[in-house]
């Protein structure tokens, strides 16, 4: 039996069965030119109060000493005020805060230095030029600091993506989602799934190797099968939600539609707080689809104004109506706008029958089209008068003219968009990229092969394939763990 265990040890140590362990030791990804020390302006470009320039690589300490001579390196991770001067000419450049982060306790895992200089363009370019004159330093390429952090195991791939999203986040929901991903939530979820697979694989491999051995616990294969079944359910649920995370990253498509003159353009301008569309009392003013990115109740959205839907207009307006209908089909959420004082008109009735009624309330999984019905121009209704349409489906009263009802609309939008995009403050970690979806689907397909095959060797291979897909989401690997689990989880050799 011990010979059997050593066979497993030897197997895990060779070929495709022994990729690097999935630990924070490093991703195993090589960084082109990683021996060099890189430098760059890390804060935004343009005039500002403080600009941050940083370096990463073995010559960082030398660079810091060169610009702050004759002073020594400051204590690690403490801000110190230093006079910066050009290492060759000795010309003073700025009085700045400098920080020294000896590796591996730094963002990239390498020796790093930071110069917090005054943000004038001449100061920034002077310090960058001074750094360029230090031997062994070169300007960083786009994303090179983060790439080094990944290569040194400081960030997983999903965390790298979270960091990128955080930098690009424009709405509260995007920021929350990016922070959660940067905190490693998606990575932890994938690691948890990968651990389940590793365990199942260990069980299957142990059965292959020690199936005849009395000392092997009973029901080993059944346990593996039930773990795989549970995982299939969990992955399936996440994949059904996959579009949400992507909408949260790139913005939900919210289409404003309704009959002519209902106040669609007025609503678009109100929600985007800028004059995107022309507003006029003339029906048929908007003809093209006008898009504007907006922050809607904390969620990112691409808001589209469309032509009023009606029959019998001229050819240009008809083309606008065709485009409006096309856009409606792609909408994640429809904002259906009607004139509250004109609900009995043929165009209002037609719109209610052809757009509002079929859209329905949306399915519980959030994948179908959702619709919010807005009755605009509530200021034209008689004061204290009855609800204009007690038989209508649930709706919101609004006046774009006075702003009354806007808070209620924003709250309704927040709820709808939390369904459409997923709520990053409460829900499970979201799959924000097609890459995540692709590998999760690959994992699920491989698990499908596992459940179908009768051949144990093929079943084990399917599990390895499934685990490889999960590992690729976070950018890690991991096969040596199987052995750890065999020793810990089984009684082989007792």
Q: Which residues bind Mg ion (CB under 5 A)?
A: 264-265, 285-286
Region label for 464, one of left (φ > 0), alpha (ψ between -120 and 50) or beta (otherwise) = alpha
How far is Cα 29 from Cα 33, in angstroms, rounded to an integer? 12
Q: By CB under 6 A, name the one of 198, 376, 432, 437 that touches ligand GTP.
A: 376
Q: Give which of Mg ion, ligand GTP, none residue 379 binds (C-beta under 5 to 8 Å, depending on kind).
A: ligand GTP
Give me 245's structure tokens: 């995370």
Of the pair 131, 373, the CB lying nearest Mg ion is at 373
Q: CA-based angle 337:419:372, to the nearest 5?
A: 10
Placement of tokens 């240009």 in the chain: 316
CB of 306 to Mg ion, least distance (A): 8
Residues 6+ apart with CB under 8 A from 410: 296, 297
Q: Give which of Mg ion, ligand GTP, none residue 447 binds (C-beta under 5 to 8 Å, depending on kind).
A: none
CB of 335 to Mg ion, least distance (A): 13
How far is Cα 469 from Cα 479, in angstroms, rounded to an integer? 13
How far is Cα 140 from Cα 147, in angstroms, rounded to an integer? 11
How far is Cα 204 from Cα 198, in angstroms, rounded to an integer? 10
Contact status, residue 367 vs residue 342, Cβ threshold 8 Å: no
Does residue 388 interact with ligand GTP by CB under 6 A?
no
CB of 403 to ligand GTP, least distance (A): 9
CB of 390 to ligand GTP, least distance (A): 21
Of the pair 222, 326, the CB lying nearest Mg ion is at 326
SS3 92: strand
- Residue 431's closest CA among 190, 73, 148? 190
How far is Cα 322 from Cα 308, in angstroms, rounded to an integer? 10
CB of 268 to ligand GTP, least distance (A): 8
Give me 219's structure tokens: 């029901």
Of the pair 321, 492, the CB lying nearest Mg ion is at 321
Does residue 227 interact with ligand GTP by CB under 6 A?
no
Position with the least CB separation from ligand GTP: 308
Site for ligand GTP in 45-64 (CB under 6 A): none
Site for ligand GTP in 254-273 (CB under 6 A): 258, 260-266
Span of 50-58, 76-84, 198-206, 278-286 interacting with ligand GTP by CB under 6 A: 278-286
Question: How many residues in the shown chain lie near ligand GTP by CB under 6 A?
Answer: 23
Does residue 380 interact with ligand GTP by CB under 6 A?
yes
Span of 103-111, 186-194, 376-384, 450-458 interacting with ligand GTP by CB under 6 A: 376-384
Residues 6+ apart with CB under 8 A from 237: none
Positions that interact with ligand GTP (CB under 6 A): 258, 260-266, 279-281, 283-286, 308, 376-377, 379-380, 399-401
């Amino acid at each position: 039996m011990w010979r059997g265990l050593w066979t497993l040890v030897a197997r895990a140590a060779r070929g495709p069965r022994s990729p690097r362990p999935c630990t924070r030791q490093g991703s195993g990804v090589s960084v082109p030119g990683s021996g060099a020390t890189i430098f760059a302006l890390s804060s935004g470009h343009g005039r500002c109060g403080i600009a941050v320039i940083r370096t990463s690589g073995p010559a960082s300490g030398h660079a810091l000493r060169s610009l702050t001579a004759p002073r020594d390196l400051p204590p690690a991770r403490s801000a110190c005020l230093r006079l910066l001067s050009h290492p060759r000419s000795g010309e003073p450049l700025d009085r700045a805060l400098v920080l020294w982060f000896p590796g591996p306790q730094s963002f990239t895992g390498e020796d790093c230095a930071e110069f917090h200089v005054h943000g004038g363009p001449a100061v920034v370019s002077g310090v960058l030029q001074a750094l360029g004159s230090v031997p062994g330093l070169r300007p960083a390429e786009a994303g090179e600091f983060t790439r080094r952090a990944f290569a040194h195991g400081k960030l997983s791939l999903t965390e790298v993506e979270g960091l990128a999203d955080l930098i690009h986040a424009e709405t509260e929901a995007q920021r929350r989602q990016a922070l959660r991903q940067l905190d490693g939530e998606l990575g932890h979820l994938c690691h948890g799934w990968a651990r389940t697979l590793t365990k199942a694989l260990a069980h299957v491999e142990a059965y292959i190797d020690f199936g005849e051995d009395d000392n092997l616990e009973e029901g080993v294969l059944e346990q593996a099968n039930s773990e795989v079944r549970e995982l299939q359910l969990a992955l399936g649920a996440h994949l059904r939600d996959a579009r949400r995370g992507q909408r949260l990253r790139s913005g939900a498509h919210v289409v404003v539609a309704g009959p002519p003159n209902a106040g669609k353009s007025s609503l678009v301008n109100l929600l985007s707080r800028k004059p995107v569309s022309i507003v006029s009392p003339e029906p048929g003013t908007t003809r093209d689809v006008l898009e504007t990115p907006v922050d809607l109740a904390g969620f990112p959205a691409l808001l589209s104004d469309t032509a009023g839907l009606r029959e019998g207009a001229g050819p240009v307006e008809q083309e606008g109506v065709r485009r409006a209908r096309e856009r409606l089909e792609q909408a994640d959420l429809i904002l259906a706008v009607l004139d509250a004082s004109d609900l009995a008109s043929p165009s209002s009735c037609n719109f209610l029958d052809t757009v509002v009624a079929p859209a329905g309330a949306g399915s519980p999984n959030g994948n179908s089209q959702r619709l919010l019905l807005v009755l605009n121009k509530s200021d034209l209704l008689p004061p204290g008068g009855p609800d204009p349409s007690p038989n209508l489906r649930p709706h919101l009263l609004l006046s774009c003219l006075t702003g009354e009802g806007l808070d209620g609309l924003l709250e309704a939008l927040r709820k709808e968009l939390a369904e459409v995009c997923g709520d990053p403050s409460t829900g499970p970690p979201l799959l924000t990229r097609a890459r995540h979806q692709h590998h999760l689907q690959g994992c699920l397909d491989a698990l499908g092969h596992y459940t179908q095959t009768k051949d144990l060797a093929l079943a084990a291979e399917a599990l390895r394939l499934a685990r490889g897909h999960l590992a690729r989401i976070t950018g890690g690997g991991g096969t040596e763990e199987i052995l750890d689990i065999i020793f810990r989880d089984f009684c082989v050799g007792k």
